[in-house]
């Protein structure tokens, strides 16, 4: 007995409604057109090849370590109190000076002790003491990526630590005598503050902090003892910052050399609102040279 497979009712009605001799209509399926996109990894792979992703990952890990470290929680409140009292309140209430010069000068001094030595003493020395440095160096991380990542994370913590100084800028804008500006054709009334001097002061602090932190990373790569790394950093920064004072007791050409290598002389231009090319080159050279030497120190461990 043969079974006859019957079509659904709607199909039979459709066929019956069609004239005889015509072919049965078929559904037309339109092809789905998908816009071509970048292949998987087309954007990530070039960044990964340059090492930028690993540098940012190391910097993020280092920055997070500062916020859970007791050193970060001890240094930051002390710096805020010292700068707020001696750099802001005393000049404002005592000598009626509504400027950021004393704030910038005090921060530049505090960079030598205790900020940079105590914050950079652990970046590589602690890795060596705990034995995790060998693990990092044997992983797919190049030496320069580790050094630059540690330096960048420390620099980010430095910026976060001194972000409180923006409160002083807001207070000056609110309480200083007002001046009306027309930047976009609309009048804007703000406090009479020298923004050029303010910008150069912040850029000077950034250049000074970046170069000093690079020196601290270099000193931390030389030893596994954090205390020794802190004292090495302190001594190196004292020599670098105040070597310009030796120029007063020397004769040319030595006088010119020590006057140039003194970081205090190079920073003075920024504090006066003057951004000179020789000062920018000095801080860039000090930063790049310190990071390069720190990388070579790490590479020398493979030769032993």
- The encoded tokens of residue 271 equal 């504090």
Question: What is the structure's pLDDT at 46?
Answer: 64
Q: What average pLDDT does range 24-30 have in this prediction?
A: 50
Q: What is the pLDDT of residue 30?
A: 47
Q: What SS3 state is found at 180? A: strand
Whether the Cβ atoms of residue 200 and residue 208 lie closer than 8 Å to each other:
no
Gap between the Cα atoms of 10 and 17, Å rounded: 11
Residue 35 is predicted with a pLDDT of 41
* Residue 42 tokens, joined: 């087309």
The CB-side HSE value for 11 (13 A sphere, CA atoms) comes to 8
Does the pLDDT of residue 126 top 60, yes or no? yes
- Which range of 17-31, 47-61, 256-270 scores highest in mean pLDDT? It is 256-270
Which residue in 119, 198, 122 sits closest to 165, CA to CA?
198
Per residue in 225-258, pLDDT tens? Answer: 999 999 999 999 999 999 888 877 777 777 888 8
Strand, coil or helix: 178: strand
> How high is the mean pLDDT of the chain?
80
pLDDT top residue among 28 and 213: 213
b/e 221-249 (16+ beta carbons within 10 angstroms → b):
bbbbbbeebbebbbebbeebbebbebbee
- Sign of the four-CA dihedral 187, 190, 194, 200: negative
């Amino acid at each position: 007995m043969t079974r006859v497979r019957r079509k659904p009712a709607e199909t039979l009605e459709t066929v019956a409604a069609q004239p005889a001799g015509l072919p049965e209509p078929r559904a037309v399926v339109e092809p789905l057109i998908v816009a071509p996109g970048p292949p998987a990894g087309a954007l990530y792979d070039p960044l990964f090849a340059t090492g930028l992703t690993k540098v940012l990952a190391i910097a993020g890990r280092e920055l997070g370590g500062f916020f859970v470290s007791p050193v970060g929680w001890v240094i930051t409140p002390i710096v805020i109190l010292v700068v707020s009292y001696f750099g802001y309140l005393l000049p404002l209430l005592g000598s009626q000076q509504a400027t950021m010069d004393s704030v910038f000068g005090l921060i530049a001094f505090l960079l030598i002790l205790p900020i940079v030595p105590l914050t950079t003493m652990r970046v590589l020395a602690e890795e060596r003491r705990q034995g995790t440095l060998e693990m990092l160096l044997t992983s797919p991380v190049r030496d320069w990526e580790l050094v630059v990542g540690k330096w960048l994370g420390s620099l980010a913590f430095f910026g976060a630590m001194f972000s409180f100084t923006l409160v002083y800028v807001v207070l000056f804008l609110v309480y200083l005598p007002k001046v009306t500006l027309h930047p976009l054709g609309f009048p804007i009334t703000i406090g009479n503050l020298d923004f050029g001097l303010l910008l150069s002061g912040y850029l000077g602090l950034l250049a000074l902090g970046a170069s000093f932190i690079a020196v601290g990373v270099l000193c931390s790569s030389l030893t596994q003892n954090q205390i020794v790394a802190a004292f090495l950093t302190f001594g190196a920064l004292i020599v670098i910052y105040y070597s310009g004072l030796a120029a007063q007791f020397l004769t040319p050409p030595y006088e010119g050399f020590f006057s140039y290598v003194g970081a205090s002389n190079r920073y003075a231009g920024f504090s006066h609102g003057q951004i000179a090319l020789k000062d920018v080159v000095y801080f860039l050279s000090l930063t790049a040279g310190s990071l390069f030497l720190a990388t070579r120190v790490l590479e020398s461990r493979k030769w032993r």
